[in-house]
Amino acid sequence: MSMHDELRLPPQALDAEESVLGSMLIGGADAAVKVMDILEPEDFYKELNGVLFKNMVSMVSEGKPIDIVTFVERLKSDGLVDNDNVFYVTGLMEAVPSAANINYYAEIVKNRARRRTIIDASWRATQQAYDNSAPLVEIEAELMDALINTADSQYVDAETAALESMKDIDDTVTHGVTKGIKTEFSGLDEIIGDIRPEEVVVVASRPGVGKTSFALNMAVRVAGKGHHVAIVSMEMSRKQLVNRMVFNHASIDSWYYRRGLLRKDQLPVITASMTWFSKLPISIDTRRGQTTEQIYARAKRLQLQGKLDLLIVDYLGLIRHSERGDLYQKVTATSAQMITYAGMLGVPVILLHQINRAPESRKDTRPTMGDLRDSGAIEQDAHHIWLLNRPIIDKNGKPHDKEYAELIVAKNRDGRTGLVEMEFIQEYTRFQTPSGFPV
């Protein structure tokens, strides 16, 4: 920011501020309630105007009438009155002929306040950017949060809400278009329909069951339908992730690659699968120890480039959090932030989570929602909870096929729950429906 910029007055509209206050004095509580959900005291550029507005709002909240007499008395009792202030308050009523246009005046005041917020956030970001010790991604996250928080957030009436919902319903019935994303696992989609923007899906399992493999399988299926998928992995390297997806598609056991036993005749198949993978709209981030703020900032950057429809995070326990306290408190704070950021991004988020081995000590080893209760408040926070399981024996004590797996839809906030039977092909780390169709 140049010296010239520093000397410029911030955006303001003192006439509109005075017109809001004058309208409140003329129209009383009826006028005040029209703008109480639009403005806050901090939105007024002139500090005195913000103080006056705050006091009028307090009077409305207390059920007291507002007019020039009662308001001046209120100011006197709070020690906020001197001769200049009384003269100024009296003059506010002369600023407007009536309270009819109070909403219009309030929108002008809010507009200028938002502009000041953007200027302030940009100025702070500029200063931090010059400080090379400040983490870049945190500067970006703070700036984006400030810009997003300037957006409107008001109630809408039932008619408006109904029209919005009816459009979605009509699009679904008439054109087969939904706002959500299919997982492309037929049995799962039959139960849940799809996953919707802003929803957080927790996919949980014991260690070694295959939650990462399931998430990667889902990622390539979804990306294959043209949706942009971002994968954040704090457990595996980029090459490991790519190799899993490529060898899965090629139907080649990666064990041979890791042991240096691949045959030359397999190379064309792997090359073809690598070409296939390279054309998928998938973005991968494998930086370790990321915070929720960093995950959000990097995802937001992708979204601004038009490259984010679904976010997959592997996994919850590896997200770094500054919250003090025990693991329960940290996981609770982290999951709550991920819920918030899913809403801010407006995309579904798949959040992988590792539960303990307690189910293995039970007669019925199938995981339940209760196994999440020592993992913060994610049981309450998540929109969906899917529990992945690969049982060795069935409920009758008979051994399962080694490929048998099941996905338990334990929570579905807007629909049915149930169990999806699947096959897990170990050598390809592939989950598929029992009929079997490679991705």
Residues involved in catalysis: 235
For residues 211 and 204, the answer to whether their CB atoms sit within 8 Å is yes
Measuring CA to CA, how many Å separate 399 from each of 391, 392, 394? 9, 6, 6
Residue 85: how many CA atoms within 13 Å on its side-chain side?
A: 16
Phi, psi dihedrals of residue 196, rounded to the nearest 5°: -100, 160
For residues 57 and 32, the answer to whether their CB atoms sit within 8 Å is yes
> Parallel, antiparallel, or unpaired for β 418-425 and 430-432?
antiparallel
**Quick one: which of 6, 206, 234 has its CA closest to 120?**
6
Residue with tokens 């039970």: 362
For residues 266 and 349, the answer to whether their CB atoms sit within 8 Å is no
Residues 193, 124: Cα–Cα separation, whole Å? 44
What six digits make up the tokens of 101?
Answer: 């246009």
Q: How far is CA 84 from the centre of its chain?
A: 49
Q: How far is CA 400 from the centre of its chain?
A: 39
